[in-house]
Chains A and B, each alone.
Chain A
Amino acid sequence: MAFQWSVLYFLVLLQVSFTPIFAGSSGEEEFSEELLLRPLPDRKVLAHFHFESRAPPTEIYGHHHRLFPKAIYQLVQKFQIREMELSFTQGRWNYERWGGFNPITSANAKPPGVELWAILDVPPDQVDASWKNLTHTLSGLFCASINFLESSTAYSSPDWAFQPSSRSLRYGALPREAVCTENLTPWLKLLPCRDKAGLAAILDRPSIYRGFYHSQRLRLTSTEVGSEKGMESGIVLEQTLTIVLEPDAQRPNTNHLGGRVLQPSWSLRSIFGREISGRCVLAKYSTVFIEVERNLVSELKKLGRRRGVAEIASDSWTDPFFDLSVTPDKTIKEMNVTHGDSSSILYEFSTEKYLDYEPFDVGLTWKLPVVWSSPQAPFRASRFLIGSGNQRGSIAISLKSTEPGEGFMSDLAREGCTVRVDVFQVVPWYVKVYFHTLQVFVDGRHRRVTDALEKIHVSPSEDKVSPGLMEMVLRFPCSMKSATLTIEFDKGFLHIDEYPPDANQGFDIPSAVVRFPDFQASTYYLKDNSRKSALLSKFQEKNLLLSYTEILLVPLATPDFSMPYNVITITCTVFALYFGSLLNVLRRRVGEEERFLKEASMRKGMLPQLLSKLSAKLRGKYKDSPQSSSSSSSLLNPKLMFKVALVAGIAVGWHYYFE
């Protein structure tokens, strides 16, 4: 006992003596929690939780952490992860209604199911092995079947279209993975306060899973390993949870067919069923933002001008259009560079001053009806299947300009202006894509593929070994209204044991990723904020504009799974018949048989002779009995018939008697 105490004491001493030395040089571990709320045009509310943990580099700080989750630290150390992103998503992000041109969308709109990519800082020949181990570890960590990404048919290594990155990137997606609270709980466990305090405490499971979109994401960036060793940032763990909720189930009154309907008012309590009772004490800061979108602001301005109201939200917190139930601590305006005259507004609330008996419950009450639409990406990408039947089909990716009329960005649409679109598509091997059938239609006209295609990288699928991968850089004129890419495929046959459970559901083709590298989804804010915010700095980072397409369901020819049994039975029967008769023919010696028959007829005993005579008599053909007994009439032997009838009669009688 004494020994243990002494060891502990020693350790504490060590800790105490070492920590101050490095704390001064490279900072402490940090944890911050932030929540962003944004009203959406279709009467819903977006809630985006952002938790960030930072650990200083190991070289300076050592292996022991107070805040940073040990599981993640070990993960990084073991698999030499430079970057990793894992997302669990339920529902689809509605790009048209919820916007496609902002940092939250491009980073947090993920395809349904599980998506995982990682850049591993190991020698190229060990990347695959490392990836497989990583999938298993994550699978255990998050209670999900991520281990299915281990198989080489499930993941791919994109070169440049997904992330402009090194060759050690691996990408895999599981579109069918069901996401539920069992995945959320381990994710919450990585937070220092779990869901017991702070912002995470309002994550009431029933209300967040009742939503329209739910995406939990974990992103790791590490400078622990590889060439960038010794940089100041160490390991950064971002955990985000993006939810779209509907404040109340009340429908708009359909009497207002043409008229405008008031947007629903909401508060934290009404959408989550809980309130924030103070911050997580371990967090460096705990902030709630309410964002008023760029387009909403401009719409409000327009309305305001019409109603003779001056500039909104310049310094007054309650304006004629909506009320905030709590006075914000600060208002942050977007530093507008490109987007017209309006800029989005953030209302910042700090939760530090709220306590259990005085919880924080911010709400937004609309006073006037307003209709707006979220900013859109230049093109809306969608993907669908063409054709029917079990033999072949084609995949079509269509890009539609989101601004009706004259293409996107009419002011930029001069001659020679082109826009770059990157497409990244992984296709499972049983969908056998013919890459030469790639066709491009621009504005309803067929174009030569080489006109639109700037760069393409294709790695064809290999049956049962690796999926097909297609990375394309396309250039379209800015004035384009719509473009469609089609590519044909044949549906393959799977071996009977390669079918997954519920095979008749069909097979999924994971989402394609469409990126618009010419555009940046970043949002810059005026730098009057004294305190650094991880969320806002994230928004200001270089955010590539990207969108995911739909998952496709390909019906493949599926066997009747009771069939193998039938097939085995019938094949065995056929084989038995075939080989039996073949053997018979091969082995048979007709001459010998005849000789035996002759001998047998010579040595016929008394009884058979008598019987044959009797039967001959019965037939009335006494004389030529042996000759006339042709094979055909032997079945109609009256005696036989009589016997059969007798037996049948007895059987019926017996049966009837005993019933």
Chain B
Amino acid sequence: MKPRMMAGSSGDTKNPKIKPRPIVRIGIFLISHSIVVSLLCFAAGIVALILLPLFAKNTYISENALMPGSANSMLSSQDVKEANKLVKDIIGLKLSSEEARIEIPRLIAQHMADAGSEVYYHKFHPQMSQFYPLHFFSGSPNSGNIKENHSCVSHAINTVGIIRAPRGDGKEAIVLVTPYNSEKVELGEALSLALAYSIFSLLTRVTWLAKDVIWLAADARYGEYASVTAWLRDYHIPQFSALEKLDADICFESGYPHEQNENQIRTDVISRAGTMAAGLVFKVVDKHKETDKDTLSIYAEASNGQMPNLDLINIVNYLAVHRQGLRVKVEKLYFLLDSVFLKIVGDVLETIGKVARSLNARWEFGIPVADYIDGAATLASSMYHQALGVPTGSHGAFRDYQVDAITLEISPKVSLNNEVRILEFLLRGGRLIEGTIRSVNNLLEKFHQSFFLYFLTSPSKFVSVGVYMIAFGLLVVPLPIIAASLYCDANVLDSHCIKEQQKSGPASTNEAGIAFQSWRWLHAAKVVLVIHLWGAIVSLLPYLMYQFPEMTPTTSMLSWGLLSIASLLFLHQILGSPYSCVTVNQSPNREWAVLKSMMIAAAGIGLGLMSIINFATAQIGALLIVPMCLMVHPLKHVYRAGRLRTLAVTACNISLGFIGFPPAAFLFLKAYSEGLGSVSAGDFWNWVESLWAWNSATYLYLGHEGYRLKHCRHGHCQGGQNQRAGEQNDRYRR
């Protein structure tokens, strides 16, 4: 709309008496000052981003039904002693890995059955990480299974116990997950199993249980995520086909723990307990790092930046801090803690806060430097993990089925070597989890009251979507403005050309010319579309490459790069040069402006769409893409200006293009964080592979971003290859 308005107003400038309507005037004002406005907005966006830790609010429990900590804990030291016996039993099993694989599930199942619950084994095969190009769109997670030949030894066994709530109606369930490595059980894993057992045996006796409780002792031989995913998939999307059954029959003898006693533990069925209300994954980490308190780390990020409901984190945090006296942590980027920049910003903010308070005691917006740096590091980690789209633990598997889940990692303050310490630790951890289960059990409805879109800046502080959207909005606003202003400029230039032509040439072609002019953007759109198409092909190429196994990451990476360039040349040959239809009467100036405006518009739309899918990705993407879009300028035109400016703009463009190009950016970051020595080309392949494995939308995005940048480069090399005047424009693509 805006370009039209602009066109209308530029046509009306001859008649100054008519004042356009205010909204139009604002539009015109913005467009005519697009550079200033966009710079201002971008700067404001970055400032808003930096200030986010300042705007963090304290968390609060939104759902009244949760009532955390309102009941006394029922877990007694007797339960804990029982659990400690399990620890000893597990640690005491001096078995080969092959025996332990069978023996530990048997032991756990025995304990579960004795506690009076239903028990069954769930057997699964690890799933190969496969790249399905359009998996992200298919909706159902892991739908495209490929049956492979597994030997009977290769499967892992999850042990699952279900407590039926005595008076409940069995519609809902709470899931506890304790991952352990069946091949080599460490003390921490044994402790987490014991922790689960102590709670489980308590819950079989309590009368307040309204939801069923499922305890999944996940065999993390093939990674804890794989085991939890496999169980969740069989729970939600069971296969009734024959293949699996036959497999199970063949492996029946060898694979399952043999039962001598009367407790019939079923192997071939999955018992269910209704819709899951929440999932709690807990692990004990024996870190041998001495602290003054037991530490609880909360991991919440699931795939594609989805977060569990904030209430779940709130109750755990509340119970841990106010009831059990644990120190609660969420992940942060530790290298940011020493950042000089953050320190300066923090100092400035603190000073401003002090000044403001001295002016008016009620203006309290300053926070101490330490808090600021801590908050910023946590926020950055939160944003990074959400943007990456890779879950931070096996709780991510639950989110794929719309279940809220978090991982609790409890680490003791001192090394657990004496029994008293272990008992105390188990009691504390157990009471925390019991309290959490009790809260969730109180829920009548599913989690819906509190936030789903938030960043954490500390376990008890969060930035909600309403606040962090502002920064993103400010970052993105320049894009449409610049696009509109470029388009208008091009039109103005064009009308000048036409006038000159009218003066020189005959007026007969005029009408057709104008009609053609108004559709000129279609050509630019075609260019953009072709390049995007190429980008899509590049991002789908790995699927082809998966057909050739046994490639090292480095060769894969290289062949990917080569194939990308080849496909580009191929596209170029097939579709012809996208610039071949350039007419004579177009000035190159106008052409690049239209092209740039199209590109910026597409980028803006892309960012807007991405913000719906994964906000953090969009935000970080905006940080990278928006300056590129603003800075980009045709190299040829720059030459006319002063040399210093030329150099500066070129350097900026190239460095931004370099940073924005995903492999380059990745290597840069890796080099920054780990030192140059560890960098190799294969790393990027591995990283991207991990993104496929998690179905991350970030991959799409990276591809999106990547091809645009490649397009930029492609412009350069093309420009080098053929020096025809018409094709020089594509240099200016960015």
Contacts and interface: CB of A to CB of B under 8 A. Distances in A.
A550 B170 contact: yes
Interface in B11-25: 15-20, 25
Contacts of B116: 42
A551 B445 contact: no
Contact of B236 (A254, A388, A446): A388
Contact of B446 (A252, A506, A551): A506
Contacts of B448: 504, 558
Interface string A380-395: 0010111111100000
Interface of B: 9, 15-20, 25, 28-29, 32-33, 82, 110, 114, 116, 139-140, 164, 166-172, 205, 207, 236-238, 240-242, 244-246, 260-262, 264, 269, 272, 274-275, 359-360, 362, 400-402, 444-446, 448
A249 B241 CA distance: 44
A122 to B, nearest CB: 34
Contact of B164 (A92, A175, A484, A555): A92
Contact of B237 (A254, A386, A593): A386
A505 interface: yes
Contacts of B237: 386-387
A655 B169 CA distance: 61
Contact of B114 (A112, A257, A590): A257
User: Which has the most chain B C-beta neighbours within 10 Å: A254, A258, A443?
Assistant: A254
Nearest to A256: B114
Interface in A428-465: 441, 443-446
A113 B274 CA distance: 16
Contacts of B114: 252, 254, 257
A508 B171 contact: yes
Given A210-B207, A553-B171, A631-B28, A444 B240 contact: yes
Nearest to A508: B171
A157 interface: no
A423 to B, nearest CB: 17
A251 B204 CA distance: 10
B275 A386 contact: no
Nearest to A214: B167
B484 to A, nearest CB: 14
Nearest to B246: A444
Contact of B28 (A212, A441, A593, A632): A632
Interface stretch (A10-18, A24-32, A331-339, A594-602): A594-602
Interface of A: 42, 90-92, 94, 112-113, 175, 210-212, 214, 249, 251-252, 254, 257-258, 371, 382, 384-390, 396, 400, 404, 441, 443-446, 482, 484, 486, 502-506, 508, 550-555, 558, 590, 593-594, 597-598, 601, 626-627, 629, 631-632, 635, 656, 659
Given A210-B207, A597-B18, A502 B445 contact: yes
B166 A254 contact: no
Contact of A444 (B20, B244, B261): B244
19 contacts: A42-B116, A92-B164, A94-B164, A249-B205, A251-B205, A386-B238, A388-B402, A444-B246, A446-B241, A550-B170, A550-B171, A552-B171, A594-B18, A631-B9, A631-B25, A631-B29, A632-B25, A632-B28, A656-B359
Contacts of B274: 550, 552-553
A170 to B, nearest CB: 23
B360 A659 contact: yes
Nearest to A441: B240
Contacts, number: 125
A444 B242 CA distance: 5
A438 to B, nearest CB: 13
Given A441-B240, A504-B446, A631-B25, A598 B17 contact: yes
Nearest to A176: B169
A326 to B, nearest CB: 30
A505 B445 contact: yes
User: Which has the most chain B C-beta neighbours within 10 Å: A482, A505, A558?
Assistant: A505
B445 A631 contact: no
A508 B237 CA distance: 20
Contacts of B238: 386, 396
Contacts of B110: 257
A444 B275 CA distance: 24
A646 B529 CA distance: 52
Contacts of A387: 140, 236-237
Given A553-B274, A627-B16, A631-B20, A388 B401 contact: yes
A363 B20 CA distance: 97
Nearest to A511: B169
Contacts of A552: 171, 274
A444 B82 contact: no
A212 B169 CA distance: 11
A384 B446 CA distance: 19
A221 to B, nearest CB: 29
A405 B285 CA distance: 43
Contact of B360 (A94, A502, A656): A656
Given A386-B236, A601-B17, A175 B169 contact: yes
Please give me the 7 A-B residue pairs with the lowest Cβ-Cβ distance, nearest first: A444-B245, A504-B445, A553-B171, A441-B240, A112-B169, A388-B401, A505-B445
A254 B448 CA distance: 41
